[in-house]
Chains A and B, each alone.
Chain A
Amino acid sequence: MLIAILKDYLRPYKRSVIFVLVLLLVQSIANLYLPTLNADLINNGVAKGNISYIWRIGAIMLGSSVLVMGSSVLLVFLSSKVSMAFGRDLRRSVFSAVESFSARELNQFGAPSLITRNTNDVQQVQMVLFMGLTMMLGAPITGIGALILAIKTNLKLSGLLLVAVPIMTILIWSLLRRIVPLFKVMQVKIDRINLVLREQISGVRVIRAFVKTAHEEERFADASSQLMATSLSVTRTFAIMFPSLMLILNLSSVAVIWFGGKLVDTGQMPIGNLTAFLAYIMQILSSVMMAVMMSLMIPRAAASADRIQEVLTIPSSVVETQSPQTPQESLGRLEFRDVEFRYPGAEHPVLAGVSFQAEPGKVTAIVGSTGSGKSTLLNLIPRFIDVTSGSVLIDGVDVREQALEVVWKQMGWVPQRSFLFGGTVGENLRYGDPDATDDDLWACLAVAQATDFIQELPNQLEALVSQGGTNFSGGQRQRLSIARAIVRNPKIYILDDSFSALDFATDARLRAALFEKTQAATVLIVAQRVSTILSADQIVVLDQGRVVGKGTHSELMGTCPTYKEIVLSQLSPEEAA
């Protein structure tokens, strides 16, 4: 997955990546050249007492240092550009993918997880790429180069590497094998702390009301000490790594001097090569060290890449048609035809055999107990989810055959949870229509019974709304979200239990003003409160996903026991009559 993502998203930056590789090569060669020059300096300059030679080689060494610096700067420039651009592109793809998700995929991942995937996980992959370009790829190049030079300098002495490299690799490998699973355990323990704490914070009222603070503290202490135990094992294992690697490095140089000395003694190696060989072996071993240490980052990044890939590849369960049909007339007539909806693998459908029509200029109300499928039914209209059989039609054409934007354009949606966006009141209302004038907005606010409290705000339409609209009360949010739908001037109004937070008087006033305004539109209302729907032109009664009654209030009182039961649970028989 990691490789696949890297391959796909680095394609536009192929040239830069190749250039980075060339730079790495230049850098490695220049870095390796330094010890060679140093050996040359000692063999031909120092040993022969040739001072002008020493100066000449010194100048070349200086030149190559500057070259290394130059290529490093260019390298850092290109690698940070490429890896950050890679991150940017990946984030864009993830966001666009999520934007085309249906409600089902969104719920499957959950918003918080999607946020983490788009930011944290992308960051992980991006950093590994950056490290890879600047360091990881350089390590093998330098390592192999140094190996060639070491062998060229002295084949016999290079045999030392056959001992040092495996020991080092085995050491790091065995430590990593212990640490990597511990990292996973640690992640789980951190998740656990998060979970306990999140419950504590969001359930603070419940915990205090039930005097459970001590119990919660115990739970937390348990999770916390478990995390401590795991972190301890990780850090203690790590504590062995660095000192033992240093020991291997140092012992290798000791060995070089011992065996190298023997070779010098028997005249098999010039004395200056001893110093050069020391430098090479250091370079080789630190490359091995670097490569293996860096590989520690890879499992984590690979896990992140998997999580990103999941988001990018999951097919949306709602696919827009390639050849959209446009209805002949655009009135907003809504029809459910034998609609069934069931979650994949679920035994019972949420909705089954639902058929009814909602006419323009009429108010259709949907009632039913909690879990009877009311909200699911509404979600089918804008294709947040799709029917599993049957069809939903607008103006005679199946919504799945129409362009999504066209379907949405006709719709004034008021969700059950009134959600406002961060910004100003005006900006929120203009979600309905970006071109609406202030006068338009005020007119719509008046219908939604929201004029009073907006006028009381110091900046009125410019008043700030916090994210989610939390600086407004529930009822105010509902009224603003109704106003937002009215601004859209839609053909179809869909109000999902949108009056619940209003007191009865406001509810009544709002409905009167709204139905005045919506005379030509199709209005679909879901309500818990019976008084809200008494005057609807048509009432559809849902029970466990099936339509058990259709008609006006007075008809249903006579024919539908489920309806009668709901009504009498809220109203007295006199009111219900």
Chain B
Amino acid sequence: MSTQSHSPTPSRSAGPRGPMAGMFGPPPAKSKDFKGSLKRLLNEVGEERKTLVLVLTLISSSVIVGAFGPKILGRATNDVFYGFLGKRLPADLSKAQAVAGLRAKGQEQMAAMLEKSSVVPGVGIDFSAVSRLLMLAIALYAISSLFMWVQGYLMAGVTQRTVFRLRRSAEEKIGRLPLSYFDTQSRGDLLSRVTNDIDNISNSLQQGLSQILNSLLTVISVLAMMVWISPVLALVSLIAIPLSALFSVRIAKRSQREFIAQWDWTGKLNGHVEEMHTGHSLIKVFGRRDRAIQDFGTLNDKLFESSFRAQFISGLIQPTTALISNLIYVAIAVLGGYRVATGTMTLGDVQAFIQYSRQFGMPLAQIAGLMNTVQSGVASAERLFQLLDAPEERPDSKDAVQLGRAHGEIVFENVSFQYTADQPLIEGFSLTAKSGETIAIVGPTGAGKTTLVNLIMRFYEIDSGRITLDGVDIRDFTRDDLRKQFGMVLQDYQMDMTLSSLMTMQRFQMVSDNF
């Protein structure tokens, strides 16, 4: 056994670091392979293909049906408006006469508007026609909302089942990871991947998928309705898309950077807090309290600055898109008003158009906002996939030797092992422990006493040589069979490593005794 003095302790994870220690690794910031991870995540969701297709159909129908609403309301407004005008005209006049009369008075624009309308002089609002239109609108809105609800209901199932599956595979994965994985990864981080990251994925899926689709379809169908009503005004509104997109994307990119900084400083602050709380009494007794508070203050200020910038910059998206949509609104009102006045457009159409243009701005802003959610979700998915892809323990050999009750002779043959590359801990170690023999292993701190037990239990795999139990290489048994042989009482592994290595020495005797 080599007496390498600087060796990592085998049960590193059992040190005095708090359970939260690793939670502050790099947070899901920017993903390395956005497309790849997104695709893989969508594949996971894709297992529910049939339901998804139904969801998609429902969303599309709901959006399309809903899009007709304002148009129909606009028609109803027209009817009201014409009735209003008609009532003010004397009933004995024909529409042509009324137009001519207006022209004679020099009210050319009024005349033009009247000429294009379906006003019948002397006839007021046709409420039966209005009510038919309104009933239609109610029906459309009701159907749209109903579809939306069913869609949301189904999507909740898809999301939650997907997340459940992800959680299960993550947990099963943990059961197959080699122990060395737990030594190098912080516990808090691992835990965070299975809980926080999966939670985040769940949120992104639930909100992201159906809402992005919804918003996108809304933009398209609203745009279609706008073109139908008035291609000229639609063109004006169309300017809003690239304009909003351009600003939103620019701002989002900039704020993403600040958000990363914010999570980075949050992580650093968390790390400091965790360390200072864990070493609470030491900090006091070594008179470092002021220094700790001071260091905290520095990190806290950095966090403040970055989170302020992140909030402010990302907060700019809303006023910017709002300004654009307000500008469009004004343009439509002015242009529309002008066109109604000149008789090229009806009032109801302008009103419908205005309503559409309001609906138009919202999904655009929503898509911009959702991009953040999706990015964060994909980043989390990536962290989860990293865990799922981590190399596993070598699977038990299929034709494993059946192990009943072992006779109990353990032989180490020229065993070499190292926890960390280039830091050999055990080199060319040989030992025979016969059944009924007591063997005490002594050695200075860090010499590898605990390691021997870890190797017999196959918590770690040896690098060379072999260990046999009753003459059979322990790698030829299944791990479960092998471990069942050692009714080993692994006492509180939370306790300080140093104590446990002492105990291990005694335990090793115990183990050998049992054989």
Contact = CB atoms under 8 A, between A and B. Distances in A.
A471 B8 contact: yes
A221 B168 CA distance: 7
A238 B281 CA distance: 47
Given A243-B152, A457-B6, A471-B8, A65 B130 contact: no
A358 B293 CA distance: 34
Interface string A201-239: 111111011110100110011001100100110011011
A87 B494 contact: no
B282 A87 contact: no
Contact of B156 (A41, A239, A251, A456): A239
Contacts of B174: 197, 200-201, 204
A228 B191 contact: no
Interface string A223-262: 0110010011001101110111011001101100110111
Interface in B457-502: 457, 459, 479-480, 483-484, 486, 488, 490, 493-494, 496-499, 501-502
B208 interface: no
Contacts of B498: 418, 473-475, 477-478, 500-501
Interface stretch (B137-145, B225-233, B371-379, B400-408): B137-145
Contacts of B446: 473-476
B148 A210 contact: no
A205 B11 contact: yes
B318 A72 contact: yes
A38 to B, nearest CB: 5
A500 B502 CA distance: 9
A534 B46 CA distance: 72
B124 interface: yes
B21 A210 contact: no
A101 interface: yes
A88 B304 contact: yes
A201 B340 CA distance: 71
B110 A382 contact: no
Given A194-B195, A236-B156, A471-B8, A84 B479 contact: no
A69 B348 CA distance: 29
A2 to B, nearest CB: 20
B186 to A, nearest CB: 9
Given A80-B315, A257-B73, A475-B445, A419 B279 contact: yes
Contacts of B16: 417-419, 468-469
B337 A243 contact: no
Contact of A506 (B179, B318, B444, B457): B444
Contact of B282 (A34, A98, A253, A415): A415
Interface stretch (A48-56, A140-148, A555-563): A48-56
Given A88-B300, A101-B280, A106-B277, A243 B145 contact: yes
A46 B322 contact: no
Contact of B285 (A274, A408, A467, A501): A408
Contacts of B202: 231
B433 interface: no
Interface in B141-195: 141-142, 144-146, 148-149, 151-153, 155-157, 159-161, 163-164, 167-168, 171-172, 174-175, 179, 182, 187, 190-191, 194-195
Interface stretch (A108-116, A164-172, A546-554): A108-116
A66 interface: yes
B125 A264 contact: yes
A269 B306 CA distance: 53
Contact of B269 (A119, A221, A506): A119
Contacts of B278: 111, 419, 468
Contact of A205 (B137, B315, B490): B490
Interface string B245-270: 00000000000000000000010011
A361 interface: no
B41 interface: no
A431 interface: yes
A77 B300 contact: no
Nearest to A420: B279
B311 interface: yes
A85 B311 CA distance: 12
Most chain A CB inside 10 Å of its own CB: which residue of B292, B342, B497: B497
Contacts of A478: 498
B445 to A, nearest CB: 3
A38 B13 contact: no
A228 B130 contact: no
A65 B497 contact: no
Contacts of A473: 6-9, 445-446, 497-498
A85 B315 contact: no
Given A49-B113, A92-B297, A80 B311 contact: yes
B275 interface: yes
Given A203-B493, A209-B490, A244-B145, A46 B340 contact: yes
A523 interface: no
Contacts of B351: 275, 278
B483 A209 contact: yes
A379 B285 CA distance: 11
Nearest to A529: B502
Contact of B153 (A96, A236, A244, A452): A236
A111 B13 CA distance: 17
Interface stretch (B31-39, B236-244, B324-332, B410-418): B324-332
A29 B465 CA distance: 82
A61 B483 CA distance: 79
B300 A92 contact: yes
Most chain B CB inside 10 Å of its own CB: which residue of A66, A72, A416: A72
A24 to B, nearest CB: 13
A488 interface: yes
Nearest to B131: A258
Contact of A382 (B77, B281, B296): B281
B270 A115 contact: yes
Given A217-B175, A271-B80, A112 B307 contact: no
Given A80-B312, A88-B300, A224-B167, A194 B109 contact: no
B263 to A, nearest CB: 11
Contact of A431 (B146, B288, B493): B288
A38 B288 contact: no
25 contacts: A76-B318, A76-B319, A81-B312, A99-B283, A115-B18, A201-B182, A205-B459, A205-B493, A211-B480, A239-B149, A239-B156, A240-B149, A244-B145, A244-B149, A411-B285, A417-B16, A431-B286, A453-B5, A468-B16, A470-B12, A475-B444, A476-B5, A488-B286, A500-B498, A503-B444
Given A42-B347, A382-B284, 6 more contacts: A62-B330, A80-B312, A202-B187, A243-B149, A264-B125, A431-B288
The 7 closest A-B pairs by CB, nearest first: A501-B498, A474-B498, A239-B152, A475-B445, A72-B319, A76-B315, A58-B334
Interface of A: 34, 37-38, 41-42, 45-46, 48-51, 54-55, 57-58, 61-62, 65-66, 68-69, 72-73, 76-77, 79-81, 83-85, 87-88, 91-92, 95-96, 98-99, 101, 103, 106, 111-112, 114-116, 118-119, 130, 134, 190, 193-194, 197-198, 200-206, 208-211, 213, 216-217, 220-221, 224-225, 228, 231-232, 235-236, 238-240, 242-244, 246-247, 250-251, 253-254, 257-258, 260-262, 264-265, 271, 274-275, 278, 379, 382, 384, 404-405, 408-409, 411, 413, 415-419, 421-422, 431-432, 452-453, 456-457, 467-478, 484, 488, 500-503, 505-506
Interface of B: 5-9, 11-13, 15-21, 66, 69, 73, 76-77, 79-81, 83-84, 87, 107, 109-110, 113, 124-125, 127, 130-131, 134, 137-138, 141-142, 144-146, 148-149, 151-153, 155-157, 159-161, 163-164, 167-168, 171-172, 174-175, 179, 182, 187, 190-191, 194-195, 199, 202, 206, 266, 269-271, 273-289, 292-293, 296-297, 300-301, 303-304, 307-308, 311-312, 315-316, 318-320, 322-323, 326-327, 329-330, 333-334, 337-338, 340-342, 347, 350-351, 354-355, 442-446, 457, 459, 479-480, 483-484, 486, 488, 490, 493-494, 496-499, 501-502
